[in-house]
Amino acid sequence: MHVSGEVVSFRIYDTGGEIDLSKVKKIFGQKPEQEKIEFEQLAPKYINISPAPLFVNLKKRTTEIFGRKVELSISARIYEVGAVSVILRISFSEELKNLVDFSKPFKISGKDDKKFSDEIFAEIIKEIKSCISKSYEIETYPEEYMVFCVREPNMDGSAFLNKNRETIAGILREEKNFSKLFSAEIRDATRATLSYFKNDLVIIDWSVGMIFDPTGKYEDDLLTIELANLQLLELRTYDKLIDKKIESAYKDLKSLRGFGFLKPVNKVMLEIAEMRMEMTRYIEDTMNITKFFGDYYLAKLYDLLEERLHIDEWQKTVSKKLDNLDEIYELAADRVDVQKSTWLEVLIVLLIVFEIVLALGGKLW
């Protein structure tokens, strides 16, 4: 089956800290006219993102992919929570089964597609590095998601899926030998679907999705997919960061042994409490960027993504680790109280002994 449309590739990076978007706008605005980058504050109609991310248009270019000249559109979105999404959009017109080639690493003008996105991200970071605050050092890898947007005016969504289910499953699972896929695997790959009109269809899988829409009006769908992957990236990042902070908190807790209460324990306890508050705020800011209003369809699409990407499970894992930080804080407080009480009792006994010695000494004299 011959199809046309575009491949939309998201590669979302954690920047290691929060981004001051007002500073970013000033930086881009001060560039020389010939070097200026087009950008705008994104304000989608049905999705509440506060503050709205900056959409950066890095313009279109003609490039070579699979030995053919194609039009490549490059853009990025910069989020205050500390993430940059690099977006590549590549037009196609060919047999449906050939789309699986995009699921594997492919070359863009001789460069690996992932390396191509990495270089764009590095360029953006170079420009906005001074706008990143409250930084943290944690090694993360970007979140990737690819969406095949098919525009086929002569067929409705369900008919398209039923006719090409095996091929579509191969594309979603990045498997060229799709004819060998087990029936249960095909069903699982194509089970998470959503339609609004008869002629549109969205299929969501773990790392690849497909949108079938003859009208080409799927920008809100793409943004919803991007935001869900952004949340997954940040939750993974926070999970690693909390692990690091828990390890540090345990070390602080051990330092309170023995004469530990003589150390600046209030500072240690304050640091543990600040860890908890800081991580709670990070997570709330990340999860709050997907507050849907006025569009039940997008809310249902997000529910599909949340289930497929296991976002709820990641959130529960992170919340549990935050509770562990609370327990460490309570242990630290209890240990300090016990140590203070113990040493206070020791001092009282020593004072009593000292008074007895003084009294006995006075009688002897």
The pLDDT tens digits for 279-327 are 777 777 776 666 654 578 888 898 999 999 999 899 889 888 878 777 7
Q: How many domains does the chain have?
A: 2
Domain final position from 167, 198, 223: 223
Pairing between β-strand 143-151 and β-strand 208-212 as defined by DSSP bridges: parallel
Write phi, then psi, for 294 (nearest 5 degrees). 75, 0
Tell whether 94 and 204 lie within a shared domain. yes
In this predicted structure, the answer to whether residue 102 has a pLDDT above a threshold of 60 is yes
Query: 25-34, 121-130, 236-245, 339-348: lowest mean pLDDT where?
Result: 25-34
CB 79 within 8 A of CB 19: yes
Strand partners, 108: 111
For residues 244 and 161, membership in a common domain is answered with no
- 356 in the same domain as 327: yes
Query: Do 244 and 217 fall into the same domain?
Result: no
The answer to whether position 241 is within a domain reads: yes
| Same domain assignment for residues 172 and 289 | no
Is 80 exceeded by the pLDDT of residue 263?
Answer: no
Segment among 98-107, 133-142, 264-273 with least mean pLDDT? 264-273
pLDDT digits (tens, 9 = 90+) for 158-173: 999 999 999 999 999 9
Instruction: Please check the confidence at residue 85 and state whether its pLDDT lies above 70.
Output: yes
Between 324 and 85, name the one with better pLDDT. Answer: 85
Q: Indicate if the pLDDT at residue 26 is higher than 90.
A: no
Asked if 193 contacts 184 with a C-beta cutoff of 8 angstroms, the reply is no
* Mean predicted confidence (pLDDT) in 108-132: 89
Q: Are 212 and 201 in contact (CB under 8 A)?
A: yes
Q: Is the dihedral of CA 290, 292, 296, 298 positive or negative?
A: negative
Whole-number pLDDT of residue 104: 75
Per-residue model confidence as pLDDT tens digits over 337-361: 666 777 677 788 888 888 887 777 6
Tell whether 202 and 311 lie within a shared domain: no
Distance of CA 300 to the CA centre of its chain: 20
Report yes or no: 150 and 212 within 8 Å, Cβ to Cβ: yes
Two tokens at 64?
């070579």
The pLDDT confidence band at residue 68, using thresholds 50, 70 and 90, is confident
Same domain, 287 and 187: no
The answer on 203 and 56 residing in a single domain is yes
Same domain? For 210 and 282 the reply is no
List the single range of 46-60, 99-113, 281-295 with lowest mean pLDDT. Answer: 281-295
Peptide bond connecting 51 to the previous residue in cis, omega within 30 degrees of 0: yes
Mean pLDDT of 116-125: 92
- Give the other-Cβ count within 10 Å of 146's Cβ: 22
Q: Which of 243-247, 251-255, 260-264 has the highest mean pLDDT?
A: 243-247
Q: Count the alpha carbons within 13 Å of 161 in the hemisphere toward its beta carbon.
A: 24
Higher pLDDT, 312 or 43: 312
Threshold 0.95, pTM exceeds: no
pLDDT average, residue stretch 128-136: 85
The domain in which residue 262 lies consists of 234-360
Tokens of 273: 């409490």
Residue 350, domain member (yes or no): yes
Query: What average pLDDT does the segment 183-199 reach?
Result: 93
Residue 247 within a domain: yes
Q: For residue 109, what pLDDT band results from cuts at 50, 70 and 90?
A: confident
What value does the mean pLDDT take over residues 118-136? 89
The single-letter code of the amino acid at 37 is I
* Single residue among 189, 223, 257 that ends a domain in this structure: 223
C-alpha span between 201 and 113 (Å, rounded): 27
Share of the chain above pLDDT 90, in %: 34
Of 91, 99, 68, give the one whose Cα is nearest residue 175: 99
The 3-class SS string of 41-107 reads ECCCCCEECCCCCEEEEEEEEEEEECCEEEEEEEEEEEECCCEEEEEEEEEEEEEHHHHHHHHCCCE
Q: Are 250 and 127 members of one domain?
A: no
φ, ψ at 78 (rounded to 5°): -110, 120
